[in-house]
Structure 1
């Protein structure tokens, strides 16, 4: 593709042209240059549409929208506050646990920051946490649950890479828990150092919070048990989750009136899923052309010449993915990069499941790094702070996440523990 055209498309994307339009224009230009029929771009759309796990994406998205509208964020905060709020740095631990749980189901860190940030930010300030720490915590933890089932990012990687999604869900559990534990320890040390007040443990409050929140906690338990127990497929688990969320919010908690709110909830879900699917379709068409043009083989030939080991490959891969994550939406990055990286990774002996966890971890960090880290812009809008201030506030958390990235990259056992 002509370099001037590539630079023009990148400039248009920077100026705000929708990403699907940029990808589609790039695909059409590449087809024209190669003198091919534009219909080749549609072939990948058919493969995407025929994926057996595709239906899981809108269903899990709908479940997340229903939970957000039905008051799940408030119930989760109350429950985690009763469970861990009495520890040193307890409210920070509450924020981390609630964000991780909610991101896993909402599928988008932006939704987590918008839904939970407005509740947690004043709470953290009221108990004595510095504003800088609170902003950094909420900005970086918006993407904390991306590796936990039933994460949409894991689903998209599995569909694009042709990897068993059950294995990916298993692979993400331990790395996700390691990151959560590292951030919890740091947050608790901050709370202890600054002598942030904490409430006394109350069994009565825990019982009351469990009565309201136990049904929310049972949802991921049901998903994991159903999928890994072999009772349901991923798509069937998604359908059960969506039905469970509707029953939970409309009949048990009675926070939703489906006669009035079902259509708006479906509309919001369709907007989220539609934007994702159109980006996936355009990106897959373009990457199909790149594969046909043997771009992965050229990259592999270059790497064989300059890279001697799996360790060097993984180091270069992390550098590239961190840069991409800072400039590109996670779902688009998955679809654009995976077809290029996967054959090269296999050549260097990297397991596709481990590759998926490393890739998603890099992109998770990219959510909070400039110039286009989506967490920074959404947090800026939510908290009314400049993007640069939020990035500086998130630096301690990003440093911890980089250490975690090195750990899970060079210790594949963290992802492949179940084999």
Structure 2
């Protein structure tokens, strides 16, 4: 920024193009005059016509006088032509440069408005595609992405502030009530404060995890999604039994490269989401892993209430809950479960597809780039060591 501020003012691009056009036109005129001199005027005879007639014994038709007279008439005419070419080049170059640089002027105006905080402005150049229009289209796309990103960040900041303020406000209310009228059961107050603070801590950790995934500052390692699926299901099995949800894990190895911690949180959030947002009793949640060509696939399917199609795009937004998600549920989370999943998937160059399940419920499909051969060997070794550890434990 300091280098830009200390730069000296220079000629505008329009003036440079104008001088270039005029210079080339003037140079072309000079070359034309030089050619005329070398190949025409230089070879004109400088003798009297009578002498030439007597020497060749023939009738010679002389169009003009001798060479010196033609040179004297040629010099002023050449100077006038060159002056005309200079003026014409400057005027024409200025007009042509203005027309050619008009798209850049519009792009500069849009960039200036964007720097002032207005991201809703678009260039929208018309006409056939060329370099300037391609640049304008790319700039419009960038402005659209920036506007969407800024709006998303503002919503996220507002929602995060609201979510963090809620447990703090509840804690303050409980403490004020205890100070004004000390409760007989101190244990109940402690338990309620503990629950509120736990929720605030969970929210803070989820926000930090979301920020870490967005920055992509993690070390990539060999990861087998099937192992992560088994670990997540084993961890959440008590919750599934409590809610009378049957968990099933099927499929084969699905190797990828990434952060084991983040990918485990991805799988855990999807499985927990499938358990919590299920039918009241007798529901099922299926976790399936596999490979498709150069892609490792994780598919989590669960029964539940029908999901409106217009609700699907909002499920991955922070603090967005479906119609069946309630705050009274202690396992409902903080509204960042699928947002974290989406962020982790993007950080690993993958895709997340959410689709309503026929008969009710949700189908979440994660596709991640398949690991290379060396990474696959590391994942196989990881799987073998995990199996050996499980055998020793049994």
Fold equivalence (TM over 0.5): no
Q: Which has more helix, going by share of residues?
A: 1
Q: TM-score, normalised by structure 2?
A: 0.25
Relative contact order: is structure 1 or structure 2 higher (C-alpha 8 Å, sep ≥ 6)?
1
